[in-house]
Structure 1
């Protein structure tokens, strides 16, 4: 089982990947939205913002998100790490229920290039 530190490192790596992206991916990552990532097996939520093509983690809290973020992700720690490392395909993980992604319709359309 992935640790909180490994999950945080995965989010940092994802942020670095988004910052280095180009084209459509860079455009999608340029959103300015609140973001939460609930790591279900650790019952921990990382809260922050997607801003200027980076994920800024502003804090962590035990349990599910306390505030409804614009973009909400929920998955296990192992799946989060595997997704960021490219070992798990997002579409398959989402289709099987291993990853939940919730956002407004406009944001989902923009985020699809990231997936």
Structure 2
């Protein structure tokens, strides 16, 4: 089971990867939206602003007061596997291993990342 520190490191790696992306992926990654990722097996939520704003995620033991614009939920192992390229996001989302809640406009922009 992935630890909180491993999950935080995976999210930081993902943020760095998106920050260094080019083309359509870069434009999709620059969403100016808040993002949260609830790690279900650790019952911890990482939340932070998306896009060009501060990319540092903070963790909290209870859900954020305000819902993030884009909300993800998965196990810590799945988070680490996704970031390491060992788990396909679309397949994990389709099978229910990863849950994604976002507005329709955000989903259209995020599809470029898949």
TM-score by length of 1: 0.93
* Cα drift, residue 54 of structure 1: 7.1
- Match in the other structure for 1:93: 92
- Match in the other structure for 1:19: 19
- Match in the other structure for 1:74: 73
Equivalent pairs counted in the alignment come to 114
* Cα drift, residue 61 of structure 1: 1.0
Stretch moving more, 62-71 or 24-33: 62-71
Deviations 1:23-53 (A, max 9, x none): 1100001111111100000000001011218
- Match in the other structure for 1:104: 103
In the TM superposition, structure 1's runs of 4+ consecutive aligned residues that sit over 4 Å from their partners are: none
Quote the RMSD (CA, aligned, Å).
Answer: 1.4
User: In 1, Cα distance between the equivalents of 2:17 and 2:54?
Assistant: 9
8 A Cα contact 2:48 2:54, kept in partner: no
Query: 5 Å matches for 1:39-58?
Result: 39-52=39-52, 55-57=55-57
User: In 2, Cα distance between the equivalents of 1:28 and 1:55?
Assistant: 15
- Unmatched segments (≥5 aa) in structure 2: none
* Cα drift, residue 71 of structure 1: 0.4
TM-score by length of 2: 0.94
Deviations 1:67-105 (A, max 9, x none): 210000000000000000000000110011000011110
- Unmatched segments (≥5 aa) in structure 1: none
- Match in the other structure for 1:4: 4
* Cα drift, residue 60 of structure 1: 1.3
Give the structure with the larger strand fraction: 1
